[in-house]
Structure 1
């Protein structure tokens, strides 16, 4: 076999994704589609009050039964996906973006700047995430504009520590030293020499961070401190339909399964990213 054919075969193997990863990707794309167009796909609003019984079982008219007010649970889950996925995604992007930027600044700057940023991040890390979330919500309220920066602030330290550990190794490479010697500015070194070499692992960390944020927001909503009525995310759907728990009604099972399916899908996708299995074979 020629070297070109061998290289092409190796590239295909690295880009190929095992079926668990494809399954995770399919579920993730499904929930993203539901979050973007859910109510339009159903043709009716989750807040519509029908004539169905409270906590009605699954039927042809109500595929996931009804909630504590007789509303269609499928529509409620679809509507909740908009808040659950949307808030978690925005908060995750904000946390990873800020954490990565601070890490690049710390590594590419002077030692005292690195020490100051690292100690400041350590201060945030020392506060338990749930406790910090409760403090922020108690101080500023649980409105949507506050939930996003609250969740982002909690997970900035984790993103910073991962990005910094990667950037420190890249910063010691010869080509970074050469760039610094030829007089390149700090911003150039951050964005052109270090950042491109940590993008891949940071994308994997982004997926994990999304799961953490998702579960944090669901926990806050279950405690009544997250998304407030009449809006609802999956965590608040579990809380408001807690009356269906003794009978195992779909009203409480459906949003719980939605949370589980999304978190499992993201983990399946991360664990089977193209190239990971190939790297593990060597």
Structure 2
């Protein structure tokens, strides 16, 4: 039988969180995040031109053929904007999923197997956390130029130590509760306790941590693109589009403002959603 912790006072706090204003704000934020994610993932299907083809003069002003003008190499900005978010979002989502899976596995093993093994695993995570996230991304992505998997792995490695710490603490809290000890005393296997008692009770912290790590992964992936890392230079990327079109800002502002605005909106919307998830989970756990 699955046992789920139900802290006292949770219902009253949840009611305070579910005010009409907060529900409207959450709805607008969720709609904005969903729209931007769909734009990033499905945008390449609607690109009117090839995002890598040189079609006109550099920094041409918007017209009927090029709604957002052309960039530094004469490529269609609208097509590059529509095609430039998919790699960024897929990298961030893949890195978040990988970091969450590793963090969940290591964090649970650290408390379910043995304390000594747990300390060794946590020391390894701490050693990885000492490295600056951007430096780790730069080293791995630069070591494998043009490799999207290398960028994904580097972003995941930069965030996995924090997921490990969070999920280890959540699992340790659950294992210290009385009903888990009672389940072990009556003869339930550790696998049964893990499946029925531990995992259901750390699902909330895991979701909160994943939301926060997604924000960090988006920032790191965008920064890598801005620095020219990741897929080849001709491939559209919102971060790279900002850096490569800044020199022509006085001639045409749209080529770098459009991807910059999309990056800001995506980060803000996802960040607000992550903050709301963390707020609800934190208040419910008190």
- Report the TM-score range of the alignment, normalised by the length of the smaller protein: 0.7 to 0.9
Counterpart for residue 3 of structure 2: none
Counterpart for residue 91 of structure 1: 95
Aligned-pair Cα RMSD in Å: 2.9
Pick one of 107, 110, 123 that aligns with 1:106.
110
State the alpha-carbon separation in 2 of the partners of residues 106 and 274 from structure 1. Answer: 24
Q: Alpha carbons of 1:103 and 1:277: their partners in 2 closer, same or farther (altered >3 Å)?
A: closer
C-alpha contact 2:144 2:150 (8 A) present in aligned 1: yes
1:4-61: CA deviation from partner (whole Å, max 9, x where unpaired): xx99x9699499962222122112211222233212234443234333x322334444
Which structure 1 residue ranges, 5 or more long, are not aligned?
A: 1-5
**1:251 matches 2:251:** no
**1:152 matches 2:147:** no
**1:21 matches 2:26:** yes
C-alpha contact 1:95 1:159 (8 A) present in aligned 2: yes
Q: TM-score, normalised by structure 2?
A: 0.85
Once the two structures are TM-superposed, the CA of residue 182 in structure 1 deviates from its matched residue by: 2.8
Once the two structures are TM-superposed, the CA of residue 229 in structure 1 deviates from its matched residue by: 2.2
C-alpha contact 2:48 2:79 (8 A) present in aligned 1: no
**1:81 matches 2:78:** no
Pairing of 1:22-171 with structure 2 (within 5 A) = 22-51=27-56, 53-171=57-175
Runs of at least 4 residues off by over 4 Å: 9-17, 277-280
Pick one of 234, 238, 248 that aligns with 2:238.
234
Once the two structures are TM-superposed, the CA of residue 206 in structure 1 deviates from its matched residue by: 1.1
Counterpart for residue 172 of structure 1: 176
Which structure 2 residue ranges, 5 or more long, are not aligned?
A: 1-10
Which range moves more in the overlay, 114-123 or 66-75?
Answer: 66-75
Q: TM-score, normalised by structure 1?
A: 0.86
State the alpha-carbon separation in 2 of the partners of residues 229 and 54 from structure 1. Answer: 17
State the alpha-carbon separation in 2 of the partners of residues 70 and 162 from structure 1. Answer: 47
Pick one of 212, 217, 221 that aligns with 2:221.
217
Number of corresponding residues: 274
Pairing of 1:189-228 with structure 2 (within 5 A) = 189-228=193-232
C-alpha contact 2:222 2:239 (8 A) present in aligned 1: yes
Once the two structures are TM-superposed, the CA of residue 270 in structure 1 deviates from its matched residue by: 2.4
State the alpha-carbon separation in 2 of the partners of residues 173 and 16 from structure 1. Answer: 36
What is the DSSP-based 3-state SS (H/G/I as helix, E as strand, rest coil) of the residue aligned with 1:18? helix
C-alpha contact 1:54 1:69 (8 A) present in aligned 2: yes
Once the two structures are TM-superposed, the CA of residue 80 in structure 1 deviates from its matched residue by: 0.8
C-alpha contact 2:205 2:281 (8 A) present in aligned 1: no
